[in-house]
Amino acid sequence: MGKVRVLLADDHAVVRSGIRHALQDLPDLEIVSEVGDGPSLVTALEESRPDLLVIDVTMPDFEPVTTIRQIRARYPAMKVLVVSAYDDDAYVQGLLGVGVNGYHLKDQPLSDLKLAVQRVLAGERWISSTLISKLLSYAEFCAPSSGLTDRQREILRLLLLGYDNQSLARETGLSVKTIENHLTRIYRQLNVQSRLEAVHYVTEHPEVLNSPGPATAAILPELLPQNRFTTLLVDDNARYRSQLRRMVSRVYPQATIYEAENTNEAVRLVEQMLPQLVLVDVILGDEDGIRCVRRIKTLQPQSRVILISAYPDREFRRLGMEAGAAAFVDKKDLDAATMRQMIDDVLA
């Protein structure tokens, strides 16, 4: 087995040198590149394809949260350990929310940094010990400030799993009308306009699901998502989208699911959500699903796009593959086993 490839990103050469010397003591680890700004990082990631990125996100020409989210989407297998001097709650929370594997403070001993790297490479999460109490306090403060009741937080959790109003009513034992009233209040509290916006808000601010009190400590790991999975369903038939949504939810309950009925909606969601898996119907009303695939792949090359169709035409398949689709699936063959395989392929 080859050495673990590490990329160091910090705008101070002295700091990079200190980190390099600290990590040299670890076996089976190789520093393959060092950079000091955002544009250089983008190039180095593409050229060196590291297994681990050790980064101070306050480098020049680097927007931390947005860029880290894009990096996580483009290199999902790569581990990301932030090494920073900043312990501001909101700053840390934002980076943990977009999926970094660890957050280490620079004022901690170098022995702790080595331990952080080992833990992250082992698939664990790492937060400097001095941050733990602050994050717990932050979560406890934020949860009640959302103004949501326990019942509304329960409904939000079910929304994340793809439940429609009928399913929400069955799961909670409430009437559909009561569910609609709860959703109206939830939207008002979160300052959003729709179910989709509510799901997106919770994805970006998972602390709103936390209940105040001791239970917060048990929920804290949710703020550090390891295997986030986001999918986009593009089909002009709302009933079939609902069927696909239920299928994805059964196969991978923690999935975040978005829907679009046309190309413009799909493109907007791809730009905002960076989905890992996109299912696109070949026929989107009067639109061409193959053109939709081409636009999605142009915007987000790392998204795995699957064309689906009730018409398994060879020419559709050929054109779809040329447009960037990873596969072409006949709708009648799209069952839970096939869906599981597609999701497993993305997460592998």
CA distance 338 to 336: 5
Q: Calculate the average pLDDT of the chain.
A: 82
Establish whether domains 4-127 and 230-347 are of one fold. yes
Mean pLDDT for 155-160 is: 82
Of the candidate ranges 124-128, 159-163, 307-311, 334-338, the one whose mean pLDDT is the lowest: 159-163
**Could you tell me the pTM of the whole model?**
0.45
Q: In the prediction, which pLDDT does 165 show?
A: 85
Tokens 């001791």 label which residue? 214
Q: In the prediction, which pLDDT does 38 show?
A: 93
Q: In the prediction, which pLDDT does 324 show?
A: 94
Tokens 């109490």 label which residue? 133
Mean pLDDT for 35-52 is: 95
Q: Is 136 or 290 the better-scoring residue by pLDDT?
A: 290
pLDDT band at 187 (very low <50, low <70, confident <90, very high): confident
Q: In the prediction, which pLDDT does 188 show?
A: 84
pLDDT band at 30 (very low <50, low <70, confident <90, very high): very high
Q: In the prediction, which pLDDT does 228 show?
A: 59
Q: Is 205 or 70 the better-scoring residue by pLDDT?
A: 70
CA distance 3 to 7: 13
Specify whether the backbone of 189 is left (phi greater than 0), alpha (psi in -120 to 50) or beta. alpha
pLDDT at 189 over 50: yes
Q: In the prediction, which pLDDT does 144 show?
A: 42
Question: What is the β-pairing status of strands 283-284 and 327-330?
Answer: unpaired
pLDDT at 292 over 80: yes
Mean pLDDT for 34-62 is: 94
CATH label, 139-223, candidates 1.10.10.10, 3.10.20.30, 1.10.760.10, 1.10.3720.10: 1.10.10.10
pLDDT at 133 over 60: no
pLDDT band at 336 (very low <50, low <70, confident <90, very high): confident
Q: In the prediction, which pLDDT does 236 show?
A: 92
Cα 76 to its chain centre, rounded Å, is 9
Instruction: Report domain extents, the chain.
Output: 4-127, 139-223, 230-347
pLDDT per residue over 245-280, tens digit each?
988 888 887 677 888 999 999 988 887 667 899 999
Mean pLDDT for 193-221 is: 60
Mean pLDDT for 80-96 is: 79
Q: What is the CATH number of domain 4-127?
A: 3.40.50.2300
Q: In the prediction, which pLDDT does 330 show?
A: 92
Q: Is 20 or 133 the better-scoring residue by pLDDT?
A: 20
Q: Is 295 or 207 the better-scoring residue by pLDDT?
A: 295
pLDDT at 141 over 70: no
pLDDT at 94 over 70: yes
Please name the residues in contact with 249: beta carbons below 8 A apart, sequence gap of 6 or more: 161, 162, 163, 255, 257
pLDDT band at 136 (very low <50, low <70, confident <90, very high): low
Mean pLDDT for 72-91 is: 84
Please name the residues in contact with 4: beta carbons below 8 A apart, sequence gap of 6 or more: 28, 29, 30, 51, 52, 121
Which two three-digit tokens encode residue 317?
């398949």
Superfamily of segment(s) 230-347: Response regulator (3.40.50.2300)
User: For residues 148 and 186, is the Cβ–Cβ distance under 8 A?
Assistant: yes
Q: Is 1 or 174 the better-scoring residue by pLDDT?
A: 174
CA distance 211 to 298: 41
CA distance 312 to 47: 39
Reference 289, options 251, 331, 257; nearest CA is 331
Highest mean pLDDT among 24-38, 61-75, 85-99, 117-131: 24-38
pLDDT per residue over 232-243, tens digit each?
999 999 889 989
Q: In the prediction, which pLDDT does 138 show?
A: 46
Please name the residues in contact with 105: beta carbons below 8 A apart, sequence gap of 6 or more: 83, 84, 85, 87, 128, 130, 131
What would the 3-class secondary structure string for the chain be?
A: CCCEEEEEECCCHHHHHHHHHHHCCCCCEEEEEEECCHHHHHHHHHHHCCCEEEECCCCCCCCHHHHHHHHHHHCCCCEEEEEECCCCHHHHHHHHHCCCCEEEECCCCHHHHHHHHHHHHCCCCEECHHHHHHHHHHHHHHHHHCCCCHHHHHHHHHHHCCCCHHHHHHHHCCCHHHHHHHHHHHHHHHCCCCHHHHHHHHHHCHHHHCCCCCHHHHHHHHHCCCCCCEEEEECCCHHHHHHHHHHHHHHCCCCEEEEECCHHHHHHHHHHHCCCEEEEECEECCEEHHHHHHHHHHHCCCCEEEEEECCCCHHHHHHHHHHCCCEEEEHHHCCHHHHHHHHHHHHC
